[in-house]
Structure 1
Amino acid sequence: MQQNNTVTEFVLLGLTQDPLKEKLVFFFFFVFYGGIVVGNMLIIVTIKSSKTLGSPMYYFLFYLSFADTCFSTSIAPRVIVDALSAKKIISYDECMMQIFALHLFGSLEIFVLVFMAVDRYVAISKPLHYLTIMRQQVCNNLIFFAWIGSFIHGTIQIMLLLRLPFCGPNLIDHYCCDLQPMLKLACMDTYVMNLLFVSNSGALCSCSFLVLMISYIVILHSLKNHSAEGRKKALSTCTSHIIVVVLFLGPCIFMYTRPPTTLPIDKMVAVFYTIGTPFLNPLVYTLRNVEVKNAMRKLWHIKIMTE
C-alpha cells in the first residue's frame, strides 16, 4: 500500500537534455529496438516452424528470445517516444508497471539462461540419457517454474516499492523507472529497503551468475573425454552461452548489488543490458549456430517458393 504519497507523476531526465543528442538517442534506440524485435522474432518463428529445431536447447532458446523481446519492450518504446518529447512525464502507476515488467522479464531471462546451462550439462556429460532426462515434460515444468519465480520476484519488488513514500522532488535521473533512482527520491531512510532489494535482485543476479560459471567450468572440464569434433561443437555452443551470460548478468550485478547510490555510468550500463544484450543475443545464437542458420534458410526458401 502507498504510504503518505503526494507524488502522482515523475519526470524522467533521460540520457541527456541536449536536443541534438536526444535525436541521436532516438535514432540509437529506434534502430536497436527494431533489430531486437526483428532478430528475436525471426528466431521465435524459425524454432516454431522448423522440425529440425525440436531439441530442448531450442525450446529454451525460444523462451530466451521471447524474454529478450518483452524485456526491451518494457523500456525502449517509452525512451523512443520521450526522445521526441519536450517533457518526459510518466505517471506513478506507469512507473510501477514498468519496474514490474522490467524485473519480471529480466528474471525470466536469468532463469532460462540457467536452464540452458543445465541442458548443455546433461547433453555433454550424459549424452546417452539426454532425451530421457530432458524430456518435454521436464522442460515444460522448468519453464513453468521460471514464470512462477519471475512473477514472485517482480511482485516482491513492487510490494517493497509501494511502501516507499514519495513527497517530492519527482525528477528521476534516468531514462526509465528502476530501483536505485526510486530509492533516491523516497522521503525516508532507505538503508533497510536497499538491503531488501539487494537480497532479492542482487542475490538473484549474483547467485545465478555463480551457478552458471561453475556449471560451464564443469562442462568444459568434461569435454576432455570427447572427440575433437564433439569438443569443437560443444565449445561453440557453450561459448555462445557464456558470452550472453557475461553480457547480461555482469551489468545487472553492478546495478543491483551495491549501496543506494547513483553513479554517472549507471545510465550507460543500463543501456547495455536493456538494449545492447537483447540486440546481441540473436546475433550470438544465429551467427555461431549452423543448425539455426540452416533452418532459417530453409524456412525463407519455402516461403519464397510458395509466394
Structure 2
Amino acid sequence: MSIKKPLFSVLELASVGVGSTPAEVFKNSLDLAQKAEKEGYHRFWLAEHHNMKSIASSATAVLIGHIAGGTEKIRVGSGGIMLPNHSPLIVAEQFGTLGSLYPGRIDLGLGRAPGTDQVTAHAIRSDRMQAVYHFPEEVKQIQKYFSAENARAKVRATVAEGVEVPLYILGSSTDSAHLAARLGLPYAFASHFAPAQLFEALNIYYNEFEASAQLQQPYSIACINVIAAESNTEAEKLSTTLIRLMLGVMTGNIDYMQPPIEMTEQLRQISQDPAFQRMLKYAFIGGKEKVKQKTEEFLQKTGVNEIMVASHIYDHRDRVNSYRIFSEVMKEIQAEK
C-alpha cells in the first residue's frame, strides 16, 4: 500500500533533561515548532502526561496556546487530550477558545488512556474509570458542543459553537480503531511506543470506516521515533538517551533525560532485548540514508497518510538537527511519489 505525498508532523512531549527547568523546556518547544514550521512540518501536537518528571506536557491546552501564539501557519493540537481525565464541556470550551484565537490551525486529538500511573489517574479524577467506559459518548458530546445546533441546548459551550476544530481519535490498541471508523474521524496510532497492534488497528479502521461530515475518506496517522544525525555512529550515540529513558519506563524508575554517552555493550544488549524491541520497533536511528530507507519501508507497509515523529534527544540543537534531517527525508520521499 502506498500513499501519495504523505505528510509529516511533530509529536512533542516537552521532555525534561537533567539540569533543565520546565521554563527552558517550553522555550525549546516553541523554538522547535518555529523551525518545524519553516521545514515544512504539517502539524505540531503536544501530549498529555502527569506526574512524570521527565515530561512537562501536562497542561496540554495551555502549551498549545503557547505554541500557536508563537507560530504562523503550522497546525497545533493535542496528541492528545486524555478525555477521561477531563469534563467534555471544559475541553470544548478550551479548544473552542483556541480555535477562535487561531482559526483553522487547532486540532483536538482525543485518547482514553490516563497518561500516567493509576494512583495519579485517581487523583486527577476519582470517577475516571466510569468516564473510560463512556469515552465514545463523551467524544460525541464534544462534537455536540462544537455544533451550531447546540445553541438551543440547556448546557452550552458558547465559545465552541460553530468553531472549526477537527477531532482525531488516538489509539494504541484496536479499541479506538472501531470508534474512529464508526464516527468517521481521523485515526492516529501510537506506534512509537505500542506498535504491536498497528496493522490490525489500521485494517479495522480502513475496513469499517463510515464517511462523516468531517471526513469522507479514512485518514490515518502513525507515530514513530526518529533520531537522525550526520552519521549512523553519531545517531547511535544520541540514542543512548532514549535507551536509558525507556529502560526507566520499563522498570518503573522514570528519571530525567540523560545526556548521551558512547554506546556500551550493556546498552546495546538492552536495546536488543525482545521486550525493548517490541516497544521501540519503529525507532529509526541513523544517518539520513538509513532513516530514509526505514521510513520508506514503513510508509509502504502501512499506507498511512501522515507520519508523526517523536524524538527523545537530550541536546536541543541535536534535536532540531534531527528534525531538519527528517524533513529532508520526507521531502525527497514526497518528490519521488
| Shorter-chain TM-score range | under 0.3
Larger Cα-atom Rg: 1
- TM-score (norm. length: structure 1): 0.23
Larger % of helix: which? Answer: 1
Q: Which has the higher contact order (CA 8 A, sep 6+)?
A: 1
- TM-score, normalised relative to structure 2: 0.22
